[in-house]
Amino acid sequence: MNKVNQQKNETVLTIISIIFAIYLSGNYFVMSKYDISVLLFLLFEIIIFLLIKKGRIKYEPHWILFISITITVFFLSALTNNFMDISSYIAILLQMICAMIICLTVSKKQFEAIYVEIMVCLALISLIFYAIGFIYPSFVRYFPSESRSDLNLTYYNAYIYVYWEETGWTINNLSIRNSGIFWEPGVYQAYLNIALFLLLQNETVKYQRMKILVLVFTIITTLSATGLFVLFLVVTGYFVTNKQSKNILFLLLGFIIFIVAVSKTSFLTDKLFNSEYIKNRVAFNQLQFVFGSYKAYLWGYTFTGRENITTTIWNSIFDSALVFGIPYVLLLLYCYFRFCKKIKSGFFFYIVLIICFSVESLIWRPFFMLFIFYGISTNSSEEHKIVENVS
């Protein structure tokens, strides 16, 4: 009985740990106090690690090598640019350590299963709050708020949901888009689509239709062009991998509908390829923006150098290349690729990650770093968890 209770307690701690990683990676109000949030997250993860630890830790040489390379690149970047403020570098390293501790504590398979369940629950909660806000907009006034004059937005913190209101263009227009707990619907769709992808890879997927419907419907309520495109990729990857030729007609019909929809609104393609359309973004038609100096090829411009660039770079691949240099970003992308090689439909999942990283600043979030450490692990998926002593 004690062992059963112990396993239940470990499962609860694991769930809380993954929820914490999700909140730290995307919740606006947690991120607005990011420094203290990262430190609390690290302390929390260390405590959970000590509570769950039962024996020796599987040595992961690739993890140590990756962190060592990261520290070296950060040092060279700061040194070559005479950059003395290392707080941002430390924050990223702490996030890495948090992700690494989760990977030491939770197996890859266990993480995937728990993450799907968490996102289904968050999706259901968001649909309820989304409906209430749609029917009764004044409901948001009951929650604490924080205004962002630079974005012309006001965020309302319902803790398990975040409302956001456009305050600059119209008279307090509450958004009709579902953003869940995240700072923006485009970020929410990334987490939802990843959960849907992992769910479709489950052997019991045919019994999970209700969860699939919840995730798909929630993705639609984000009204994200990127989200719909990624959803199409996720479903396509599932059909292709499972060789369900009977759904080819469905895929073709869906593709035609999507092309028609994109032709009506070119926001997604403009976001990716045309920075002239979206003035505060760097798109793929401005690659020279990243390759403008030899430093970008090696160690980057550091955070201070990046801040001197007035253009906001939501493309986290470009942003990282500017800060840390192109070689290190290629290493990051390779580590993500290693994870994709370990799952079904990995090619499609890699495309999904690249798209999400290209339209939102996600590549450095603690949640996504989990994919790096699971990917470069030398152990099998079931050996990520700490080896227990048999006494």
| pLDDT tens per residue across span 131-188 | 988 888 888 888 887 877 666 778 888 888 988 877 654 445 667 789 899 988 889 9
Mean pLDDT (the chain) is 77
Question: Tell me, what's the pLDDT at 382?
Answer: 44
Q: Which of 54-68, 114-128, 214-228, 373-387 has the lowest mean pLDDT?
A: 373-387
Banded pLDDT at 34 (limits 50, 70, 90)? low
SS3 for 154?
A: strand
* Angle ∠(118,124,232) on CA atoms, nearest 5: 80
Residue 15 has pLDDT above 70, yes or no: yes
Q: Pick the closest to residue 64 from 96, 29, 109 (CA basis).
A: 96
Residue 383 has pLDDT above 80, yes or no: no
More confident residue, 94 or 304: 94
Question: Tell me, what's the pLDDT at 335?
Answer: 93
Question: Tell me, what's the pLDDT at 216?
Answer: 92
Buried b (16+ CB within 10 A) or exposed e, 98-134: bbbbbbbbbbbebbbebbbebbbebbebbbebbeebe
Q: Which of 2-6, 138-142, 239-243 has the lowest mean pLDDT?
A: 2-6
CB within 8 A of 169, min separation 6: which ones?
A: 152
Please identify which residue in the block is written with the tokens 């991120």.
Answer: 31
Question: Tell me, what's the pLDDT at 372?
Answer: 94
Residue 122 has pLDDT above 70, yes or no: yes
Question: Tell me, what's the pLDDT at 16?
Answer: 84
Residue 363 CA to residue 321 CA, distance in Å, equals: 11
Q: Is the CB of residue 368 less than 8 Å from the CB of residue 98?
A: no
Q: List the structure tokens of 312.
A: 């906001």
Q: Which of 68-77, 147-156, 302-311 has the lowest mean pLDDT?
A: 302-311
SS3 for 310?
A: coil
Percent of residues, the chain, with pLDDT higher than 90: 20
More confident residue, 203 or 191: 191
* Angle ∠(370,376,381) on CA atoms, nearest 5: 75
Q: List the structure tokens of 373.
A: 């450490």
Q: Is the CB of residue 208 less than 8 Å from the CB of residue 216?
A: no
Buried b (16+ CB within 10 A) or exposed e, 149-185: eeeebbbbbbeebbbbbebeeeeeebbebbbbbbbbb
Question: Tell me, what's the pLDDT at 264?
Answer: 47
Of these ranges, 180-189, 262-271, 294-303, 376-385, the one predicted with the greatest mean pLDDT is: 180-189
